Amino acid sequence: MRTNFVRLLVILSVIFLSLSPTTAYAGNPPDAAHSSLSATEVPAGGSQSTVTVTLQDSSGTPLAGDVVKLSDTADSTIVFSPATATLDASGSATFSAASSQAGTDSIDVIDTTTNTTLNALGHIIFDAAPTPASPQCSSTAPTSAPNIYQVVAANSTATIYLSPPSSSFDGFTVSYGLDANADTYNATFSQGNTGAAVKYTINSLTPNTKYYFKVRANNGCATGPWSNVMSSTGQSSLPITGSMDFVYLGLGALLLIFGGLRIYAVAR
């Protein structure tokens, strides 16, 4: 009978223990598989992320009363507040975090009560500041391109002669370089519409070097299409510059014609 009684006590004890709620024993370390860290996504540069940490041991029991802190060794600008926190009855604690460095930060959680570190338990996303929108240009762009008709090189300078476009403009941009793309250097100058041809001299060029040039008209913040490309050895039969040049060239042509007629008459 005594043996049966002992066996009954053992069986009842096992049943009682199996029905008893699981308790956390002092000193139980947190288990990464049963713990978590969540954080709100915020912009970098001062905005506060809300970070929630929940720690449980390997049996899933909350580690209420443990003191924890957060660490991020990869981001020297991050600031956690408070420095430490005590886990509540559910094993949770709340922190705030701010960083001036954009990126995704992996966060370590240190249980100082058990001297246990859970590496990269969760992460915080600090977004980069949005790029400011470019200001809108309300100016009307020139619809036609100017025409370069002559480039005269002399020593370390080159003078460009061009016919302005028919559309409105208030200046020009000259682009030039050592190949036919003519886009290595540029210079911008103001020029109102005078109704005449325009010339512009570029200085500090390498002597005895062939340069290529193109030009476009500007109107406020708007720009028009590029002109033809002409080298420093190119030219056409158009006038050099100014409205009076048309008169001078016309008179020259008449003199040539008149002289040719006289020579023809004498020959006959």
Residue 240's pLDDT band (cuts 50, 70, 90): very low
pLDDT, tens digit (0-9, with 9 covering 90-100), for 127-181: 997 777 667 888 999 999 999 999 999 889 999 999 999 889 999 999 999 999 9
pLDDT, tens digit (0-9, with 9 covering 90-100), for 184-226: 999 999 998 888 899 999 999 999 899 999 999 999 999 999 9
Check residue 236 and give its pLDDT: 41
| 91-95, 215-219, 236-240, 252-256: least confident range | 236-240
Residue 232's pLDDT band (cuts 50, 70, 90): confident
**CATH fold of 27-127:** Immunoglobulin-like (2.60.40)
Domain 147-238 bears CATH identifier 3.30.420.40:
no
| 13-17, 19-23, 184-188, 216-220: least confident range | 19-23
Q: How far apart are CA 98 and CA 15, in angstroms?
A: 51
Check residue 196 and give its pLDDT: 87
Cβ neighbours of residue 250 closer than 8 Å, sequence gap 6 or more: none
Check residue 69 and give its pLDDT: 96
- Reading the block at residue 9, the tokens are 């006590």
146 three-state secondary structure: coil
Nearest to 179 by CA among 215, 229, 224, 235: 229
Check residue 130 and give its pLDDT: 76
In the DSSP assignment, the letter for residue 232 is: T
Residue 244 has pLDDT above 90, yes or no: no
- The residues spanned by each domain of the chain are 27-127, 147-238
Q: What is the mean pLDDT of residues 99-103?
A: 94
Kindly report whether the global pTM for this prediction surpasses the value 0.95. Answer: no
What is the percentage of the chain residues whose pLDDT exceeds 70?
76
- Which secondary-structure segment (H or E) carries 108? strand 103-111
Question: 27-127 and 147-238: same fold?
Answer: yes
Residue 17's pLDDT band (cuts 50, 70, 90): low
Check residue 46 and give its pLDDT: 84
Cβ neighbours of residue 53 closer than 8 Å, sequence gap 6 or more: 35, 36, 37, 68, 70, 85, 87, 92, 93, 94, 95, 109, 121
Residue 99's pLDDT band (cuts 50, 70, 90): very high
Mean pLDDT of the chain: 83
